[in-house]
Chains A and B, each alone.
Chain A
Amino acid sequence: MNDEFMLKAWRTPAPQFARQLREQLHRLDAQHRPRAQPRRAVRLIAYAASVLLAVGLFAIPSVRAGAEAFLDLFRVVNFVAVPVEKKRLDVLQQGLDLPRLLGEQVQVLKAPGPPQAVATLDAAGALAGLHVRTPAWRPVGLEPGPIEVTGEQTYSVTGSSEQIQHVLDSLGIEDLSVPPGIDGRVSTIHVPPVVHVAYGDRDRHAMLLQARRPEATLPPGADLSQLAEIGLRVLGIDPSEAHRLAQSVDWRNSLLVPVPTYVANFHQVNVQGSNALMVESVRSNGRPVVGSQLVWSSGDAVYALFGNVHPEELYEMAQSMQ
């Protein structure tokens, strides 16, 4: 087939255009650095959440960066958000070295391994054992990117009354005592595979995570409300409020999400009939920035959607999930 005429219109890009585009690409890296802000917020939230785990509920290695760690903490139907001040987090992180204390109590029984790239949502769903849902609506230009699946994870947490008492003593909490029968009791946490779907354009990005609901096996007779009250107090919640909250929440299907108030604020929203928690990042001076995380559960699955798109757009994406 003679098709040479088709090539007569081919031309080399103008050198000036090629140079300008190359320069623009190199500038992009610098422009994308501010994206660290929402990730930092998520990391801090994950860290703060891990404080509760220190008292023997459900622990994973603390301060694991990123939203995966956030999702790792799910075992929930409901979310209970608690504001935490920077001062208290500094004490927990630096004064108590809580990451080290937590690490001593946690054993990784099955590590997730590196993420596995897959070509289709169906393939991701097959690996994760769930029907992968995606937003039917996206902000204009925000295109689906790569799909990955992280493997299942299993952790064991061994209770230690000595560790808990050490934390309480260090924080000057004298009116609470560690429940008996914690020492040596092992809880296990199984986190099913997590599907990651990325979305992005030149300036914005979003990530949707979903997984079957993680399961935790707790020692029989564990007094969750008593442990939760300790956790709330460790986070700096007022004693009467901590007691009220500890007694009024069903801790067997609720996740306590400590939100560092100096990097994020939060409010509850409704996503397709399910309660969801919207956490919006803020600058340290209180000026809002575009960056948010939305977490919710539906059916047997849990979801997290986060990125540097406007919170309302993130919410619209979640509402359009199908």
Chain B
Amino acid sequence: MSSNENIIGSLSGTAAAEPDWEAVYTEQMPRVYNFLRYRLGNESLAQELTSRTFEKAWCYRQRYRRDLAGFSTWLLRIARNVAVDHHRTRHDHAPLEAAADAPAEGTPEEEAIVRSNFERLSVLTAKMGERERELLALKYGAGATNRAIAEVTGLSESNVGTILHRAVQSLRDAW
């Protein structure tokens, strides 16, 4: 059983059980944050929309039903809707400008490497279609399986695999 399933287990242990929110938060927040980061190519915006996603999930947490979706899938659906909603109403911004404002996590050297890779990847993915970018963000930002991505996006699992394969191949050639 994965740690994610442990969290869900704690959700469904009793009929009206409250999620172990601290466990949910610790497990899922980095995944949601990196999904949005990969998806949007902007650090501060990813933080803002991660906040929005968790606030929505927090408000709806009593309404989560295990029979509707796995918890991480449910959370990613919310994050995806938040991102779509942002695109609907956004003011255009320059990607990556805010990245330098985010506090460093590792050593300055490690942070510089991550930032450089992120900038490079963002430039490359910016040339791709919305669907490819979303699938890449779900796969590599959120760490979702192809099956989970299929559940979130409504695409078939094989279609997800095909699109991702082509997208990664294209990015690797350009890397």
Q: What is A's interface to B at a CB cutoff of 8 Å?
A: 1-3, 5-18, 21-22, 24-25, 28, 32, 117, 119, 140-141, 143, 145-146, 198, 200-202, 205
Q: Given A1-B168, A9-B117, A32–B105 Cβ distance below 8 Å?
A: no
**B1 within 8 A of partner (CB):** no
Residues 36-87 of B contacting A (Cβ, < 8 Å): 37-38, 47, 50-52, 54-56, 58-60, 63-65, 67-68, 81, 85
Query: Residue B34 contacts which of A10, A18, A140, A202 (CB distance < 8 angstroms)?
Result: A10
Among the stretches B5-13, B25-33, B126-134, the one at the interface with A is: B25-33
**B147 within 8 A of partner (CB):** no
Question: For B59, what are the chain A residues with a Cβ–Cβ distance below 8 Å?
Answer: 28, 32, 200, 202, 205
Mask of B12-30 contacts with A, CB within 8 angstroms, 1/0: 0000000001000100011
Shortest Cβ gap from B98 to chain A (Å)? 12
Contacts A/B (CB < 8 Å), 17 sampled: A1-B168, A9-B38, A9-B120, A10-B141, A11-B37, A13-B33, A13-B47, A14-B103, A17-B47, A17-B103, A28-B58, A28-B59, A32-B59, A141-B85, A141-B89, A145-B63, A198-B63
Tell me if A9 and B118 are in contact (CB < 8 A): yes
**B169 within 8 A of partner (CB):** yes
Mask of B133-175 contacts with A, CB within 8 angstroms, 1/0: 0001001110000000000000000000000010011011001
Tell me if A6 and B171 are in contact (CB < 8 A): yes
Chain A interface secondary structure, helix, strand, loop or mixed? Answer: mixed
Q: How far is the CA of A24 from the CA of B7 in the complex (A)?
A: 21
Who on chain A is nearest to B122 by CB?
Answer: A9
Tell me if B29 and A202 are in contact (CB < 8 A): no
Q: How many A-B residue pairs have CB under 8 A?
A: 108
Q: How far is the CA of A10 from the CA of B34 in the complex (A)?
A: 7
Query: Residue A200 contacts which of B25, B60, B113 (CB distance < 8 angstroms)?
Result: B60
Who on chain B is nearest to A117 by CB?
Answer: B65
Query: Residue B60 contacts which of A17, A18, A25, A146 (CB distance < 8 angstroms)?
Result: A146
Q: What is B's interface to A at a CB cutoff of 8 Å?
A: 21, 25, 29-30, 33-34, 37-38, 47, 50-52, 54-56, 58-60, 63-65, 67-68, 81, 85, 88-89, 102-105, 113-114, 117-118, 120-122, 136, 139-141, 165, 168-169, 171-172, 175
**7 nearest interchain CB pairs?**
A9-B118, A117-B65, A8-B117, A202-B55, A6-B140, A14-B103, A146-B63
Q: How far is the CA of A25 from the CA of B114 in the complex (A)?
A: 29
Query: Residue A12 contacts which of B81, B105, B121 (CB distance < 8 angstroms)?
Result: B105
Question: For A2, what are the chain B residues with a Cβ–Cβ distance below 8 Å?
Answer: 172
Tell me if A5 and B51 are in contact (CB < 8 A): no
Tell me if A8 and B114 are in contact (CB < 8 A): yes
Shortest Cβ gap from B150 to chain A (Å)? 15
Query: Residue B50 contacts which of A7, A8, A13, A201 (CB distance < 8 angstroms)?
Result: A13
Tell me if A25 and B56 are in contact (CB < 8 A): no
Question: For A3, what are the chain B residues with a Cβ–Cβ distance below 8 Å?
Answer: 140, 168, 172
Who on chain B is nearest to A148 by CB?
Answer: B63
Q: Given A6-B121, A9-B38, A14-B102, A117–B60 Cβ distance below 8 Å?
A: no
Who on chain B is nearest to A10 by CB?
Answer: B34
